[in-house]
Chains A and B, each alone.
Chain A
C-alpha cells in the first residue's frame, strides 16, 4: 500500500493547531487518502499548540466515515509530543463512542434530567 506523509505544520501554515477550521482541512486530506487506500504518516513536527477542537475536526470525524480497523491500519502519528498524544487518545476514544451510538447525547441528557427528578 502506498504511503504518504501529511505535514501538519505546512498545511496549517504555522505551529498552531487550535482552530477547528484548520482541523477540517486536515480531515479532507486524510479522508481522501483513506478513500484512495493509501497509508498516511501524520507528522506533527514543530507543532507547539493543540486543542481538542482541532483534533476532533481533523481525526475524530474520521470515525464517522471509516471502520476503526481501516483507520488503525492506515494512519500513523509521527513527532507528536506525548502530552498532545494524550489529548489525541481522549479525542479518539470520545469519537468512537460518539459514532457508535447516535442516541448517546440525547440519552445522557435524559439521564441528568432523571437524576434531578429522583
Chain B
C-alpha cells in the first residue's frame, strides 16, 4: 500500500526549505514505506540538489517514486539531469539556462573543480560578467564544496544551479547529508550548541573545528563577496536557516531537522566591481 505526498510551490525561501524538510522528516524513520511523490505549481530547479539528497536518504529504507510532476517542472528537471537519476529521459536544454544536477562522492573534488572551471564558466550562453566576478564566483563555489568534503562526513555531495539571464543571476546550491554544523562542533570541540548557534559560530572569521590546521576563512570570504556583489546566501543546517541579503543577516528555525547542510548562493552577474583595487601588499606586511 502506498501513500501520496505532494511538494507544491517550492522556492528558494524559508517556506520552500520548510516543505522539503517536513517531507524528509515525515518518512525518515519509516521502513519500507512506498511513497508516490508529486511536484506541482513551482519547483526552483537548483533545489534539485536538496531533493536529491533527501530522496537518497529516504530511499535507504523506503521506496519513493514520482507519480505526478506538472509538465513545466518535469521539463526543467529533465533538462538539468535530475530526473534521469529516477528513470526519466534527459531532454535538450534549448535555452541553455540549466546548470546540471551532480551527485558526487566527496573524493570527486578534482572532477568538480574541472567541471566548475571548464563546463560551468566556459559556456557561451553564460550571462555577461567580468573576469574578476567569474573568478570570485567559481572560487566561492569551490570553497563551499571543499568545506562539505572536509567537515560533513557525507556519503555524497549534491550540486545544482540555474542561470537567470533576465535577472542577471546565477544560483548555485551545494548540499551534503552529513552531520551538520552543530554535530561537528560537538564531536571536535565537545560543546553542545543549537543549530542556530552553530551557524553563527561557523560563519565568523577564523572559527574552525579542524584540529592542527587553521581555517574558518571560506565562509567569511563568501559573505564579504556576497555583500559586495549584492547577492544572497542561505545556509540551512540542522533545524536552522541563516540568510544574508542586502547586508542584513537573519536567522530562522524550522520545526523539523535536516541531517546535513544546504548552502545556497545567489550571485549577481551584472556586477562591475573590480575586486583587485587594493594596494599592493608587500612581503613584510604579508607574513
Chain A residues at the B interface, C-beta cutoff of 8 Å:
16, 18-20, 48-53, 56-57, 60-61, 63-64, 68, 71-72, 75-77, 81-83, 85-92, 94-95, 97-99, 104-106, 108-110, 112-113, 116
Interface size on B, residues (CB 8 A): 48
Interface of B is mostly: helix
Contact partner of A90 (CB less than 8 A), chosen from B136, B146, B205, B207, is B205
Contact partner of B208 (CB less than 8 A), chosen from A71, A76, A87, A105, is A105
Check B197 against A116 for contact (C-beta < 8 Å): yes
Check B197 against A113 for contact (C-beta < 8 Å): yes
B-chain residues with CB within 8 Å of residue A68 when the two chains form the complex: 287
Name, among B220, B286, B287, the residue most crowded by chain A CB atoms within 10 Å (CB to CB).
B287
Check A112 against B201 for contact (C-beta < 8 Å): yes
Check B214 against A51 for contact (C-beta < 8 Å): no
B216 contacts A by Cβ under 8 Å: yes
Which segment, of B96-104, B137-145, B154-162, B253-261, faces chain A? B137-145
A-B contact count (CB 8 A): 134
Chain B residues at the A interface, C-beta cutoff of 8 Å:
109-110, 113, 117, 132, 135-136, 138-139, 142-143, 146-147, 150, 185, 189-191, 193-194, 197, 200-201, 204-209, 212-218, 220-221, 275-276, 278, 280-281, 283-287
Instruction: Give me 9 other A-B pairs in contact (C-beta within 8 A), A18-B146, A53-B218, A61-B213 excluded.
Output: A16-B113, A56-B213, A81-B276, A83-B135, A83-B136, A91-B214, A109-B191, A109-B197, A112-B200
Closest-CB distance, A47 to chain B (whole angstroms): 11
Check B214 against A95 for contact (C-beta < 8 Å): yes
C-alpha gap A52/B146 in the complex (Å): 10
C-alpha gap A105/B185 in the complex (Å): 10
Closest-CB distance, A72 to chain B (whole angstroms): 4
C-alpha gap A48/B134 in the complex (Å): 11
C-alpha gap A82/B286 in the complex (Å): 12
Check A87 against B221 for contact (C-beta < 8 Å): yes
Contact sample, A vs B, 9 pairs, CB 8 Å cutoff: A18-B143, A51-B139, A51-B142, A52-B143, A71-B287, A85-B281, A94-B214, A112-B201, A113-B193
Check A53 against B113 for contact (C-beta < 8 Å): no
Interface of A is mostly: helix
A-chain residues with CB within 8 Å of residue B209 when the two chains form the complex: 105
A-chain residues with CB within 8 Å of residue B204 when the two chains form the complex: 108
Q: A83-B132, A89-B281, A109-B189 in contact; A49/B138 too (CB < 8 A)?
A: yes
Check B286 against A92 for contact (C-beta < 8 Å): yes
Contact partner of A85 (CB less than 8 A), chosen from B132, B146, B201, B286, is B286
Per CB-CB distance, the 4 closest pairs between chain A and chain B, nearest first, are A52-B217, A98-B214, A95-B214, A72-B287
Check A56 against B146 for contact (C-beta < 8 Å): no
A-chain residues with CB within 8 Å of residue B189 when the two chains form the complex: 105-106, 109
Check B217 against A90 for contact (C-beta < 8 Å): yes
B-chain residues with CB within 8 Å of residue A76 when the two chains form the complex: 283
Check B283 against A77 for contact (C-beta < 8 Å): yes
C-alpha gap A50/B218 in the complex (Å): 11
C-alpha gap A85/B281 in the complex (Å): 7
Name, among B136, B206, B218, B280, the residue most crowded by chain A CB atoms within 10 Å (CB to CB).
B206
Contact partner of A49 (CB less than 8 A), chosen from B117, B214, B217, is B117
Check B205 against A94 for contact (C-beta < 8 Å): yes
Check A53 against B200 for contact (C-beta < 8 Å): no
A-chain residues with CB within 8 Å of residue B191 when the two chains form the complex: 106, 109-110, 113
B-chain residues with CB within 8 Å of residue A50 when the two chains form the complex: 139
Check A51 against B200 for contact (C-beta < 8 Å): no
B-chain residues with CB within 8 Å of residue A88 when the two chains form the complex: 286
Check A53 against B146 for contact (C-beta < 8 Å): yes
A-chain residues with CB within 8 Å of residue B139 when the two chains form the complex: 18, 49-51
